[in-house]
Amino acid sequence: MLRSFFLGILFTIGIHDVNGQAIYRFRFEEPWSVAAHGGPTQYFGDLYSLWKYYEGVQPDYNAALTGRYTFGTNLKARMDLTYYQISGQDTKADPRSGRIPRDLNFRARNYEAALLVEYYYKPVKVYNITREFLNPYIFAGVGVSTNEPYANYRGEWVPLKPLLTENEAYPGVVMVFPMGLGLKYKVNVYMDFFIEGNYRFTVTDYLDDISSFNMSGFYEDLVADYISGENPDRLRLSVRQARYLLENGEPNVNLIQSSRGAPRRGSGDPRLDEPNARYDGYFSLNFGVEIYFAQDIWENWIFRNRGKGWRFW
């Protein structure tokens, strides 16, 4: 009887200890997490307008990695590293925009790094097992992006920044100010799914290599480089309007000179006739997965050793 009594106590203690470990194994408060996400990207500038002229969605793409750190009840710090493509072209312009056919186009594949702060509607400084299943959030921050627009000219992609198509030496790295909102869904103690919209305001009107309304302020320099043969691509890539081209596709220098630089470049909106009257920007709609670091994440979630060999959980 005495032996059975002690065995019962040991068994009860063992069960309690196992259950305790099973419960407390998930009572961790890990401030660090990492996420991978991606989705469509939309450019806004002189070659595209959505809000005023309804030119439809013309998406490109982006892919990003994010690190997060919880430092307040509803606050997280965040760092983003993003690779994205944006593009635009005249061919899809709404006639109501006043954008006469200029045959201008661009494509840019850039890298962005940004630091942000997120504010969550529900507390995030909690045990991971008690995280909310749905938690909306807003965010804002500051960052930098490369700025390397290219144009498709006779089947080849030509870098535009070195050409100074508007006699403006704009920088290859620009400031960006991301802000937006998102929604997270708790999949399990270690992982969230999320969706977020992120608009980047910038301080440049040269994401698309276009800022000036027309060429009146700089056409003489471009014509001089074309005639001398020093850099003819400057004029070739600045003037693409059919009426200012010869039959062979080369710029009509005499017409450009007689018009005093009338070939158009910028938007047809009269409010935007001045350089830098509106800065360019871009928007991304991303879908992603966030993983929370934990001491036993590899042992107890991703892989488990059962029977013969390892298996994915």
- Report the CATH number that the domain containing residue 98 is assigned in CATH: 2.40.160.20
- Indicate if 91 and 114 belong to the same structural domain: yes
In the chain, pLDDT over 90 holds for what percent of residues?
62
pLDDT number for residue 189: 87
- Indicate if 228 and 155 belong to the same structural domain: no
Q: What is the pLDDT of residues 159-216, one digit of tens each?
A: 999 999 999 999 999 999 999 999 999 998 889 999 999 999 999 999 999 988 889 9
Residue numbers of the domain that contains 127: 28-213+275-295
* Residue 23 placed within a domain: no
- Indicate if 246 and 181 belong to the same structural domain: no
- Indicate if 152 and 240 belong to the same structural domain: no
How many structural domains does the chain have? 2
pLDDT higher than threshold 60 for residue 23: no
The whole-angstrom separation of Cα 301 and Cα 44 is 43
Characterise 209 by phi-psi region: left (phi > 0), alpha (psi -120 to 50), beta (else): left
pLDDT higher than threshold 90 for residue 289: yes
Q: How far is CA 205 from the centre of its chain?
A: 17
Element (H, E) at 240: none
pLDDT number for residue 32: 92
The whole-angstrom separation of Cα 197 and Cα 281 is 14
pLDDT higher than threshold 60 for residue 272: no
pLDDT band at 71 (very low <50, low <70, confident <90, very high): very high
- Indicate if 38 and 177 belong to the same structural domain: yes
- C-alpha pair distances (Å), 76 with each of 53, 107, 123, 141, 201: 37, 34, 10, 12, 21
HSE-CB of 258 using CA atoms within 13 angstroms: 6
Q: What are phi and psi of 236, to 5 degrees?
A: -60, -40
Q: What is the pTM of this model?
A: 0.83
